[in-house]
Amino acid sequence: MSTPLRILRLIASSRGADSESLRLSQQVLDGLAARHSLAVQDIDLNDLPHADSAYAVALASAPGAVQAEAGSTLQRSAELIRQLDDADMLLIATPMHNYTVPSALKAWIDHIVRIHVTFNGTPQGKVGLLRDRPVYVAIASGGLISGEHARQPDFLRPYLQAALATVGLRDLHFFCVEGTARGEPALSEARASAHAAITGFFTPA
Ligand SMILES: Cc1cc2nc3c(=O)[nH]c(=O)nc-3n(C[C@H](O)[C@H](O)[C@H](O)COP(=O)(O)O)c2cc1C
């Protein structure tokens, strides 16, 4: 029996089982499960605290100068980085909120993008310290965000690409259900199109 692939799934929607992005991420898991055995760890990002002042002080201090106290944001950050480090693949289930990532996902990014820990500053710019691995991103948006009929900017995908590249994660794959607010039959069509994209991606040529 092969060792299961360790998948870390981040859940950014606050809508629980009704979440469209969570449903889409399940299809990504189904695509992966057709080829591998999986060990999935879910993190509900809506429970995360924001970066607080002690955390900001620690980030601005010399490496190792501030010890993480039990229950501190710094300790939570260390735990989130360890979970990310341990994973073979990352799966992010996220809605678009105001053209970009929801604040819950932004809070996770603030916890894992850490100087001297997950990236180093160099004269040439920031250099990521984590090993690269596939990152699947399941996005749900109320309106369209791709193609000639989109009527809003999409800062979500380019932002996530830039933020994760900072720590060394560059192998991103996006799947989207776009136009969840447009009602039927557009929603069913958007779901079918996203499902076809996932199936096509995970089916060997
Ligand atoms: C605070 C908030 C902001 C939103 N901003 C956008 C937006 O900028 N563009 C968009 O297309 N949809 C926007 N939406 C709609 C969600 O992206 C859409 O309902 C999505 O399907 C929700 O996914 P979920 O079910 O996984 O939470 C917003 C929803 C909320 C609650």
Supply the pLDDT for residue 176: 98
> Residues 92, 95, 98, CA angle at the centre, nearest 5°?
130
Spatial distance between the Cα atoms of 108 and 73, rounded to a whole number of angstroms: 11
Per-residue pLDDT at 70: 85
In angstroms, the CA 2 to CA 179 distance is 39
Distance (Å) from CA 117 to ligand 1 centroid? 32
The closest residue, in CA terms, to atom 28 on ligand 1 is 97
Atom number in ligand 1 closest to CA 94: 26
The Å distance, Cα 184 to ligand 1 centre, comes to 17
Residue 92: closest CA among 29, 131, 135, 134: 135
Q: CA–CA separation, 95 vs 156, rounded Å? A: 9
**Number of the ligand 1 atom closest to the C-alpha atom of 22:** 26
Rounded to the nearest angstrom, the distance between the alpha carbon of 95 and the centre of ligand 1 is: 5
Q: Does the pTM exceed 0.85? A: yes
Instruction: Give 114's contacts (C-beta < 8 A, 6+ positions apart).
Output: 59, 77, 81
Closest ligand 1 atom to Cα of 179 = 11
Q: What is residue 204's predicted lDDT score, i.e. its pLDDT?
A: 77
Question: What residue has token string 């500053």?
Answer: 121
Task: Measure 98 CA to ligand 1 centroid, in angstroms.
Answer: 7
Q: How far apart are the CA of 140 and the centre of ligand 1, in A?
A: 7
Query: What is the atom index within ligand 1 of the atom nearest the CA of 143?
Result: 11
Q: For each of the chain's 205 residues, which pLDDT tens digit applies?
A: 579 999 999 999 999 999 999 999 999 999 999 989 999 999 999 999 999 998 998 889 888 888 888 888 999 999 999 999 999 999 999 999 999 999 999 999 999 999 999 999 999 999 999 999 999 999 999 999 999 999 999 999 999 999 999 999 999 999 999 999 999 999 999 999 999 999 999 987 7
- The number of beta carbons lying within 10 Å of the beta carbon of residue 109 is 18
Domains along the sequence of the chain with CATH: 5-202 (3.40.50.360)
